Amino acid sequence: MSDIPAAAATAAGMFIGTNVDDLLVLTVLFLSARAQGSPKPWQVWTGQYLGIAALLAVSGLAALGLSIIPDEWIRLLGLVPIALGVRGLIMAVRDRESHDPPPVATGMLSVAAVTIANGADNVSVYTPVFRTIGADAFAVTIAVFAAGVALWCLAGSWLGSHRKIIELVERYGRWLVPGVFVLIGLIILI
């Protein structure tokens, strides 16, 4: 697949198809940033880029035949958002008087961890594609994914700035935000 436009179209379809659920996570993270200042927006952006880069690196290594992570272990990454969500629910129970939702991801590394855990299933999609494309198409894929992350972060930030969504999170956020993370973790495990 040396045709650059075809490689770009394939990469865009692959990014969108495997990261639709990530848009919800980013929206929640940007809402959390607005509501309580944690994580900072730059930490969401940086953590998202680090997480996607890690997924691409693991997929690239696996495509080279270095299956360093057994398939059955990838599901265990679902425990990361579950743990973050449970921690958030515990904090919500402990501090029922506050109207602020508890932080689920508090910094760049926890955002990256959530991105990796949420995208662990993406490795199974990326690896076979990376086995069949050449270096040029791989470079195009990386560029398309970098642009896709920026687009996703902008969309998540935009969605997280709408008054109706903010009102919903202000009212139910202490339960909604950690609940979303637990749900995502369960989906990854299943």
| Tens digit of each residue's pLDDT, the chain (190 residues) | 458 898 898 889 889 878 877 888 888 888 888 877 888 999 999 999 999 999 999 888 887 775 455 666 666 766 776 887 788 788 878 876 655 555 567 788 988 988 888 777 678 778 777 877 888 999 999 999 999 999 999 999 998 887 787 677 667 766 766 776 677 677 667 7
Tokens of 15: 């990014």
Closest CA to 10 of 153, 133, 108: 133
Inter-CA distances, 21 with 61, 92, 115, 168, 188, Å: 24, 24, 10, 19, 11
CB burial of residue 30 (10 Å; 0-12, 13-18, 19+): buried
Count of structural domains, the chain: 1
* Integer Cα distance of 60 and 9 in angstroms: 19
Instruction: Note the pTM of the prediction, 2 decimals.
Output: 0.71
H helix or E strand, kind and range, residue 116: helix 108-118
How long a stretch of residues is the chain?
190
* Integer Cα distance of 74 and 17 in angstroms: 19
CA dihedral of residues 185, 186, 189, 190 (deg, nearest 10): -150
> Residue 143 belongs to what domain range?
4-189
pLDDT of residue 1: 44
CB burial of residue 66 (10 Å; 0-12, 13-18, 19+): exposed
Helix 163-189 to helix 4-36 angle, to the nearest 10 degrees?
A: 120
pLDDT of residue 55: 94
Residue showing tokens 């959390």: 32
Provide the CA 47 distance to its chain's centre, in angstroms: 9
